[in-house]
């Protein structure tokens, strides 16, 4: 984009820059059951998006959280799809892109992390770093995302605070800098030391966590000796960490060399206000995004964005699906005609919505950092770049390498049309990877997944949404590699001992193997075929 040449263009550029500075687009990542949905709901409560939080008696009796809507999510108490929530707090727009809370949906989480500017990493105080947390942390580091660390569930028995700080430093390879410190050991959460505000706060839960917590400033001179000792111990521990790790530096945080640490009990709304204040005051706003050609596109440039999620089944009455678009530059206006870089075809944005869980409302304008739900956008796919005026293509969002494989068939041959439509829809959304071959035909494609739960979701949705019950036959494959040979596909061996070559919907050929020995035998027998590890897996 060239410099503004008219007063009107100058005003437009200034307005876009100002709106971008008001945005904070982030995701919450965690191991399952670390309290991600509870924290999401608490953030919505502080932003007045909901009037009360339903976390009063644990998952078995709580209200469904605002970001969980799929039947299996409510049944199992986990998030298996991502949703976008837009909140406003102290004049700042918070775009919270929820992530699946189950390890089997790592690929969906990777797409979400491509669409945000920072991540809130949630850690269970009793368990510390867990496998899924480590995996997601690696993805954040690959993308250079700033990370805010929240140690949750401090109202329950857990590890020592200093031990957790050491873990964070070792696992993240960033300097952990506390912005809050708990008064009392895990399970005895008496208060909070707010480093940035330089105050000591006693905390009181309201309505079992249904309303924001009451915070009372504590003057230690007024405390009884036995109570004062607990606060003194907290100050001493905090002092040790600060003397060792230094003070918070916003530039170091943005550069992903420091991770601010906050302690919380999201179910009681303890420490949540400090988190949202921190995101507003020092969280990174949208910045120029690097295109596939390596050029950074300024946020004030002509409109651009990319699709990071396609989700169906949110409105069963209309069988619609929503393409979630992250805006990278310019201003989005409902009804504008934009271009899909993949197809070169125009796309009219007549049905644009802001989505809050199952609820949605029409959206007229949006700015860099915002997430727009484009309804019934059947031509859009995950990874599509969209633009107006100046063309741009953003980097592809890579696939994960699948580890589990099944052959899928319709139980009722008379429902083949529904079967085929359902499989195509799941593939379109990126719920699961669909692999085909001439030998297998469309009647029995192969579903490839990172985890078993992906198959369960696919089976349930085929039965309930498309009325096409399916049978799944486990295959003995455990490895997949992308075929990079430039020779015609017709020259590739379709099957071989211990594996076969299948075709993905994006045109890539994928070779699958029973184990590493079969992979080794194949490469020896077929030196003309080049293979490489798939994407982020």
Each domain of the chain, given as residue ranges in start order, spans: 26-81+91-282, 289-387, 404-532
pLDDT value for 62: 41
pLDDT tens column, 16-25: 999 999 999 9
pLDDT above 90 covers a percentage of the chain that reads 61
pLDDT higher than threshold 70 for residue 72: no
The average pLDDT across 106-134 equals 87
pLDDT at 3: 60
Check if the beta carbon of residue 123 is closer than 8 Å to that of residue 152. yes
Provide the pLDDT for residue 77: 42
Is residue 516 scored above 50 in pLDDT? yes
Q: How far apart are CA 340 and CA 335, in angstroms?
A: 15
pLDDT category at 67 given cuts 50, 70, 90 is very low
Residue with more model confidence, 503 or 353 = 503
Helical (H) or strand (E) element with 304: strand 304-312
**CA 385 – CA 292 distance, rounded (Å):** 10
- For residues 57 and 157, is the Cβ–Cβ distance under 8 A? no
502-531 average pLDDT score: 93
The rounded distance, in Å, linking the Cα atoms of 412 and 409 is 9
Q: How far apart are CA 375 and CA 352, in angstroms?
A: 6
- CATH fold group of domain 26-81+91-282: Rossmann fold (3.40.50)
- At 49, the pLDDT band (50, 70, 90 cuts) reads confident
Q: Which of the listed ranges 323-337, 359-373, 391-405 does the model predict with the highest average pLDDT?
A: 323-337
Q: Can you tell me the distance from the alpha carbon of 85 to that of 97, in angstroms, rounded to the nearest whole number?
A: 6
Estimate to the nearest angstrom the gap between the alpha carbon of 34 and the chain centroid. 15
Q: Is 86's pLDDT higher than 90? A: no
Q: How far is CA 150 from CA 275, 336, 350, 493, in A?
A: 8, 40, 39, 51
**Structural contact between residues 49 and 356, judged by C-beta atoms closer than 8 angstroms:** yes
441: region left, alpha or beta (phi > 0 left; psi from -120 to 50 alpha): left
CB 230 within 8 A of CB 261: no
> Which residue would you say has higher pLDDT here, 72 or 174?
174
Q: Which residue has the tokens 């230690």?
A: 220
Residue 103: the pLDDT is 53
CATH fold of the domain at 404-532: Alpha-Beta Plaits (3.30.70)
- Whether 417 shows a pLDDT value over 90: the answer reads yes
Q: Is the pLDDT of residue 109 over 80?
A: no
Is 289-387 in the same CATH topology as 26-81+91-282? no
Cβ contact 121:112 at 8 Å: no
Between the two ends of the chain, the Cα-to-Cα distance in Å is 36
d(CA 165, CA 145): 20
- The sign one gets for the Cα dihedral 484, 488, 491, 494 is positive
Output 312 or 61, whichever has higher pLDDT: 312
Q: How many other β-carbons are positioned within 10 Å of the β-carbon of residue 341?
A: 19
- Percent above pLDDT 70 for the chain: 88
Are 486 and 528 a contacting pair, CB within 8 Å? no
Query: Could you please report the per-residue DSSP string of 189-255?
Result: --EEEETTTTEEEEEEEEGGGTEEEEEEE--GGGS-HHHHHHHHHHHHHHHHHHHHH----HHHHHT
Name residues whose C-beta falls within 8 Å of residue 84's C-beta, 6 or more positions apart in sequence.
95, 96, 97, 98, 324, 355, 371, 373
Mean pLDDT computed over 338-353: 93
Tokens representing 399 are 């696939």
Q: Which stretch of 75-79, 432-436, 467-471 has the lowest confidence by average pLDDT?
A: 75-79
144 closest CA partner among 172, 123, 169:
172
For 520, residues 6+ apart whose C-beta sits below 8 A from its C-beta are: none
pLDDT at 402 over 80: yes
Query: How far apart are alpha carbons 537 and 525 in whole angstroms?
Result: 25
User: Is the Cβ–Cβ distance between 112 and 136 less than 8 Å?
Assistant: no
> Does 5 have pLDDT greater than 90?
no
pLDDT at 389: 92
269 burial level (CB within 10 Å; 0-12, 13-18, 19+): buried
> 55 pLDDT exceeds 90?
no
Confidence of residue 357 (pLDDT cuts 50, 70, 90): low
Segment among 97-111, 158-172, 207-221 with least mean pLDDT: 97-111
The confidence band for 80, taking pLDDT boundaries of 50, 70 and 90, is: very low
Six-digit token string for 489: 């596909």
Fold of the domain built from segment(s) 289-387: Elongation Factor Tu (Ef-tu); domain 3 (2.40.30)
pTM: 0.83
- Measuring CA to CA, how many Å separate 133 from each of 30, 168, 286, 525? 5, 11, 25, 40
3-state secondary structure of 417: helix
Q: What is the pLDDT, as a whole number, of residue 66?
A: 44
Which among 308, 307, 287, 284 is positioned nearest to 297, based on CA atoms? 287
Determine the average pLDDT of the residues in 128-153: 88
> Which tops the pLDDT comparison, 320 or 534?
534
Mean pLDDT of the chain: 87
| pLDDT of 76 above 70 | no
Lowest mean pLDDT among 144-148, 255-259, 504-508: 504-508
Cα 59 from Cα 62, distance rounded (Å): 5
Q: What is the mean pLDDT of residues 284-309?
A: 96
Asked if the model's pLDDT at residue 430 lies above 60, the reply is yes
C-alpha atoms less than 13 angstroms from C-alpha of 293 in its C-beta half-sphere: 5
Between CA 189 and CA 270 the distance in angstroms is 9
Distance between CA atoms of residues 131 and 425, nearest Å = 31
Question: pLDDT (tens digit, 9 = 90+) per residue, 193-247?
Answer: 999 999 999 999 998 889 999 999 998 777 777 778 899 999 999 999 999 999 9
């Amino acid at each position: 984009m060239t410099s503004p040449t008219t007063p009107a263009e100058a005003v437009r550029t200034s307005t876009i820059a100002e709106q971008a500075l008001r945005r904070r687009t982030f995701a919450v990542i965690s191991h399952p059951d670390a309290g991600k949905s509870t924290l999401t709901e608490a953030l919505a409560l502080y932003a007045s998006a909901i009037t009360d939080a339903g976390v009063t008696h644990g998952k078995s009796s709580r209200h469904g959280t605002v970001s969980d809507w799929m039947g299996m999510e409510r049944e199992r108490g986990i998030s298996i799809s991502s949703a976008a929530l837009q909140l406003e707090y102290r004049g700042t727009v918070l775009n919270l892109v929820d992530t699946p809370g189950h390890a089997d949906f790592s690929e969906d989480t990777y797409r979400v992390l491509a669409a945000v500017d920072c991540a809130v990493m949630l850690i269970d105080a009793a368990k510390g770093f867990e496998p899924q947390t480590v995996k997601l942390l690696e993805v954040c580091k690959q993308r250079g995302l700033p990370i805010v660390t929240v140690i949750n569930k401090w109202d329950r028995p857990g590890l020592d605070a200093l031990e957790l700080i050491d873990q964070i430093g070792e696992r993240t390879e960033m300097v952990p800098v506390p912005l809050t410190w708990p008064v009392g050991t895990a399970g005895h959460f008496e208060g909070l030391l707010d480093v940035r505000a330089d105050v000591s706060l006693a905390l009181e839960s309201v309505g079992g966590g249904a309303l924001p917590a009451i915070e009372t400033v504590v003057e230690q001179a007024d405390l009884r000796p036995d109570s004062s000792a607990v606060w003194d111990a907290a100050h001493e521990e905090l002092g040790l960490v600060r003397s060792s790790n230094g003070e918070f530096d916003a530039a170091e945080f943005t550069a992903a060399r420091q991770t601010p640490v906050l302690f919380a009990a999201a179910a009681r709304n303890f420490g949540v206000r400090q988190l949202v204040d921190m995101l507003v005051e020092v969280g990174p706003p949208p910045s120029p995004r690097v295109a596939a050609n390596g050029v950074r596109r300024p946020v004030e440039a002509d409109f651009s964005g990319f699709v990071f999620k396609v989700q169906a089944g949110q409105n069963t009455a209309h069988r619609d699906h929503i393409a979630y678009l992250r805006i990278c530059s310019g201003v989005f206006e409902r009804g504008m005609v934009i271009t899909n870089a993949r197809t070169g075809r125009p796309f009219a944005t007549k049905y644009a919505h802001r989505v809050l869980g199952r609820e949605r409302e029409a959206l007229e304008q949006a700015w860099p950092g915002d997430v727009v739900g484009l309804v019934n956008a059947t031509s859009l796919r995950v990874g599509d770049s969209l633009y107006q005026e100046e063309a741009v293509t953003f980097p592809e969002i890579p696939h994960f390498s699948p580890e589990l494989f099944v052959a899928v068939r319709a139980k009722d041959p008379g429902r083949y049309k529904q079967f085929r439509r359902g499989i195509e829809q799941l593939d379109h959304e990126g719920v699961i990877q669909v692999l085909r071959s001439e030998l297998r035909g469309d009647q029995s494609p192969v579903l490839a997944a990172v985890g078993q739960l992906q198959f369960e979701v696919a089976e349930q949705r085929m039965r309930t949404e498309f009325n096409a019950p399916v049978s799944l036959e486990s295959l003995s494959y455990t490895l997949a590699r992308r075929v990079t040979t430039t020779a015609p596909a017709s020259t590739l061996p379709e099957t071989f001992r211990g594996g076969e070559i299948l075709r993905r919907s994006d045109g890539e050929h994928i070779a699958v193997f029973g184990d590493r020995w079969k992979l080794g035998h194949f490469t020896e027998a077929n030196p003309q075929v080049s293979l490489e590890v798939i994407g982020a897996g």
